[in-house]
Amino acid sequence: MVTIYDVAKRCGVSASTVSKAINDYPAIPEETKARIKKAMAEMKYVPNLQAKSLSRGKSKNIGILVYLEHEVSPFTHPLFGQILDAFSKKVSQQGYNLLFVTHYVEGKREPGLLKCIMSRNVEGVVILGEMDNENVLEIINSPIKCVGFDYYGTKMPGICTDGYAALKQVTEELLKRGHRNIAFITGKANKITDQRIKGFQDALFEYKVPFDRSNLLEGEYFNQDKAIEITACLLERKNRPTAIIYPDDYTAIAAMGFIRSKGLSIPRDISVFGFDGLEMANYVTPMLSTVVQDTKALGEELSKALIEEMSSSEKHGHVVTLPGKLRISDSIAAIK
């Protein structure tokens, strides 16, 4: 491997001069810089970023932490993937690299996530997925700079889609179509979920439809089995709901298959709403009505927030809310 010393020797200068030429210090005349740069190119010199990172104290590494207790894995999560895609484009323009924090031991995630992150010297971490797990909390509460997708607290910046407005609109669309018995299967209880529930309730309130507690059921984001299980209960009810809102498209799609398998038709017997706007929601029949999250904007906001956070001396906590966009398709219909 050719080092800065090799280049220095070849040019008849010292390593410090080469370093200064690389980093464009004004003390080095253009002529010398050109000579050194020529030599670097000829020798195919590539700087060792680990060494640079060590001496500069900056790693230019960003950690990605996707923490999911459920089966959907970091690399196959359709929503997170889209967000990360936008995120990575933004931060790599600033010279950052993405390090996936996937610390499995024997197929299971090991506890020492914080240690793992600290030893990699990442300058910041994006957190997606569960955030009330103690392993993740340890990181959020540490001095490491982070941002969270769908985080709604004060320990770090959080970026999310406006779940209140979205669920209000979703519910209104159903109410508008005559539905009065609407079930809402939520994700796991947290502040994001609470916002959605509030939107759901407010829409009912505005339409003067009494809120039926039993129509609010706690599921789990991206947990298809759970969604199906709850749906099964709903279908067996005497007063079966005429519409079901799911926590995300992924569970909604699974549930649609289940509902159909029970001999019911969507949307004739049951209207279905999802959330996220996944691509696959367009492939199912009937096409799933959903709330499209602006994943590009979300990813970009995450990068903006993290870069800001990393260049600041202390940690902040503020929530950025982006609007979702209703996409009405054939999975909902007016009640007969």
Partner DNA sequence: CCTTTTTAGGAAATCGATTTCCTACCGTAG
Partner DNA sequence: CTACGGTAGGAAATCGATTTCCTAAAAAGG
> Shortest approach of DNA to residue 114 CB, angstroms?
15
Interacting residues of 207 by C-beta distance below 8 A, sequence separation 6+:
172, 175
51 belongs to the binding site for DNA (CB under 7 A): yes
Q: Which does 201 bind (CB under 5 to 8 A by kind): a copy of itself, DNA, none?
A: none
| Range in contact with DNA (rule: CB under 7 A) among 49-57, 98-106, 196-204, 305-313 | 49-57
Cβ closest to a copy of itself, residue 73 vs residue 214: 73
**Binding residue for DNA (CB under 7 A) from 38, 42, 48, 100?**
48
Cβ closest to a copy of itself, residue 207 vs residue 258: 258
| Range in contact with DNA (rule: CB under 7 A) among 6-14, 172-180, 195-203, 229-237 | 6-14
The pair of structure tokens assigned to 238 is 């005497």
Q: Which does 103 bind (CB under 5 to 8 A by kind): a copy of itself, DNA, none?
A: a copy of itself
55 belongs to the binding site for DNA (CB under 7 A): yes
Cβ closest to DNA, residue 56 vs residue 176: 56
Residues interacting with a copy of itself, by CB under 8 A? 46-51, 53-54, 59, 73-76, 78, 80-82, 84-85, 88-89, 92-93, 97-100, 102-107, 115, 118-121, 253, 257, 280, 283-285
Q: Which does 93 bind (CB under 5 to 8 A by kind): DNA, a copy of itself, none?
A: a copy of itself
Cβ closest to DNA, residue 16 vs residue 265: 16
CA distances from 295 to 88, 236, 278, 307, 323 (A): 12, 36, 10, 18, 11
Q: Which does 94 bind (CB under 5 to 8 A by kind): a copy of itself, DNA, none?
A: none
Gyration radius from the chain CA atoms: 26
One-letter identity of residue 261: S
| Range in contact with DNA (rule: CB under 7 A) among 2-10, 211-219, 230-238, 255-263 | 2-10
Closest CA to 139 of 94, 109, 163: 109
One-letter identity of residue 167: L
> Shortest approach of a copy of itself to residue 68 CB, angstroms?
11
Q: Burial of 275 by CB count in 10 Å (0-12 exposed, 13-18 middle, 19+ buried)? A: buried
**Binding residue for DNA (CB under 7 A) from 10, 47, 304, 330?**
47
How far is Cα 58 from Cα 41, in angstroms, rounded to an integer? Answer: 25
Closest CA to 182 of 155, 209, 206: 209
How far is Cα 275 from Cα 40, in angstroms, rounded to an integer? Answer: 52
Site string for DNA, 199-228 (x = CB under 7 A): ------------------------------
Interactions with DNA, residue window 21-40 (CB under 7 A): 22-23, 27-29, 32
> Shortest approach of a copy of itself to residue 272 CB, angstroms?
13
117 belongs to the binding site for DNA (CB under 7 A): no
How far is Cα 142 from Cα 136, in angstroms, rounded to an integer? Answer: 10
The residue behind tokens 């799933």 is 288
**What angle, rounded to 10 degrees, do the helices at 30-43 and 4-11 form?**
120
> Shortest approach of a copy of itself to residue 292 CB, angstroms?
15
168 belongs to the binding site for DNA (CB under 7 A): no
How far is Cα 331 from Cα 126, in angstroms, rounded to an integer? Answer: 34
> Shortest approach of DNA to residue 48 CB, angstroms?
3
The pair of structure tokens assigned to 42 is 């000829």
**Residues 196/167, Cβ–Cβ less than 8 Å:** yes
The residue count of the chain comes to 336
How far is Cα 243 from Cα 129, in angstroms, rounded to an integer? Answer: 27
3-state secondary structure of 46: coil
